[in-house]
Amino acid sequence: MTTNADWFERAAQVIPGGVNSPVRAFRSVGGTPYFVARAEGPHVWDVEGRRYVDLVQSYGAVILGHAAPEIVEAVVAAAGRGTSYGAPTAGEVLLAEAIRERVPSCEQVRLVSSGTEATMTALRVARGFTGRSRIVKFAGNYHGHSDALLVEGGSGIATLGLPGSAGVTDGAVADTLVAPYNVVPTLTEDVACVIVEPVAANMGLVAPVPGFLEGLRAECDRVGALLVFDEVITGFRLARGGAQARYGVRPDLTAFGKVIGGGLPIGAVGGRRDVMAVLAPLGPVYQAGTLSGNPVATAAGLAALAALDAAAYELVEARATRLAEGLQDAFDGAGLTARVPRVGTLVGVHFGPEVPVDYDGARRTDEGVYRALFHALLERGVAIAPGAYEVVFCGLAHDDEVLDTVLAASGEAARVVAASHPAP
């Protein structure tokens, strides 16, 4: 049998670090990544035939569960009609309409191929519209890997303990200002936009404090800057209308990704009609993509959104609640100092006494405890992300029986971890 270790060794010969996205490499938790052979519903199977309850869910891209029949059918049907044309399709119109119908601030929508492209495009649009250069981002928020946005990013940047990235010139970040999350910065009139994760989900899970998002809206309005919500995780996961519906704050631009592709590569940027009008071919801001609005990805995205009605969000939220409470009980029962914050359908795990409100707080998580828990869970057939700053994703496939398994494994795993990491 070809093992995970065999594949990882082969992978490392042809792929840097053996992976196509850094956090998959297990660098921060140690060990060899499992190579996925297939997945169905809440489970993934590795190439050695081991089954795991999957709480990674493609870092949030999957919400219906793996290989959901409606997505598979849509993908197969679309692929049979051709996989890319270089001409517009009805599917793109239907997906843009579906987004606008759910998120009214998105009067116009442009489809791209990833979340990174969506935020990158949002910045260019904001700069083109305002004629200003500076942008403001928040420490610990992750907006993909474009040059201007990598500074003090969460996700893999946090996991690897990096301040940013080599290969990014000083010039590329000269106009990027970094502010602490959950504090409304005082803006100057050279700021084109403020970009924010309305619920931060790449430094563990950090909720916006009351007034933060409203304060950003007011401060942007005061100086004529645009407010950009990065809803790549929260969009169509937190609620049908995303974080902006939940908090009642209307951004000028919104970036989407993950859920809107039903597990295929897609992203979108949407917003005010007058702002979006700067985009080529209407306006002077250039943006393009050979595979933008890809027919297979749009079909998968439409199938995902169609399945996500009000009842679906209630169900996912009920499951997230049970998961969060169960994990907290497991950690408390074992004597581990932990906080399991939850916002709607999103769950975080923080190994410290205080629920974090910013990146400094988030970084106080005990990564050693996370590492130990990660392996103790994996041995018991439960997969969480191999990085302490990711959230724990559940979805429509994680029914009560699956959660029973997860929580039983968590109880055992927490006791094992507590034995090797006694409270100070």
Ligand X SMILES: *Cc1c(COP(=O)(O)O)cnc(C)c1O
> Binding pattern to ligand X, positions 210-239, x when CB under 6 A?
--------------------x-xx------
**Which amino acid, 222?**
R
Burial of 335 (0-12, 13-18, 19+ CB in 10 A): middle
Asked if residues 120 and 144 have their Cβ atoms less than 8 Å apart, the reply is yes
Alpha-helical runs (H) found in 256-366: 273-276, 295-307, 310-334, 359-362
Whole-number Cα distances in Å, 291 to 143, 191, 402, 413: 21, 32, 37, 43
Give the tokens for residue 114. Answer: 């990833």
Stretch that binds ligand X, among 136-144, 351-359, 405-413, 414-422 (CB under 6 A): 136-144
Among 89, 108, 114, 159, binds ligand X (CB under 6 A): 114
How far apart are CB 143 and ligand X at their closest, in Å? 5
Q: How far is the CB of 142 from ligand X (least distance, A)?
A: 5
Q: Does 356 bind ligand X (CB under 6 A)?
A: no
Can residue 292 be called a binding residue for ligand X (CB under 6 A)?
A: no
Among 24, 124, 134, 143, which residue sits at the site for ligand X (rule: CB under 6 A)? Answer: 143
Residue 394 CA: distances (Å) to CA of 56, 142, 399: 8, 20, 9
Q: How far, in Å, CA of 259 to CA of 322, rounded?
A: 22
Q: State which residue has the least CB distance to ligand X.
A: 115
Peptide bond into 42 cis (omega under 30): no
Q: Is 258 a catalytic residue?
A: yes
Question: At its nearest, how many Å lie between ligand X and the CB of residue 113?
Answer: 8
Q: Which stretch binds ligand X (CB under 6 A): 115-123, 286-294, 320-328, 338-346?
A: 115-123
CA 140 – CA 201 distance, rounded (Å): 9
Q: Does 244 bind ligand X (CB under 6 A)?
A: no
Rule CB under 6 A: choose which of 28, 57, 105, 119 binds ligand X: 119
How big is the CA angle at 146 (ends 391 and 393), to the nearest 5 degrees? Answer: 15
Residues 324, 391: Cα–Cα separation, whole Å: 11
Q: Which of the residues 46, 52, 59, 230 is marked catalytic?
A: 230
The DSSP letter of residue 158 is: H
Contact pick of 251, 257, 271, 395 for ligand X (by CB under 6 A): 257
Task: Determine, following the binding rule CB under 6 A, whether residue 271 of this chain makes contact with ligand X.
Answer: no
Has 142 been annotated as catalytic? yes
Q: Decide: is 346 part of the binding site for ligand X (CB under 6 A).
A: no
Name residue 226's beta-bridge partners.
193
**Count of positions on this chain that bind ligand X (CB under 6 A):** 14
Q: Rule CB under 6 A: which residues touch ligand X? A: 114-116, 119, 142-144, 197, 202, 230, 232-233, 257, 267
Q: Please identify every residue annotated as catalytic.
A: 142, 230, 258
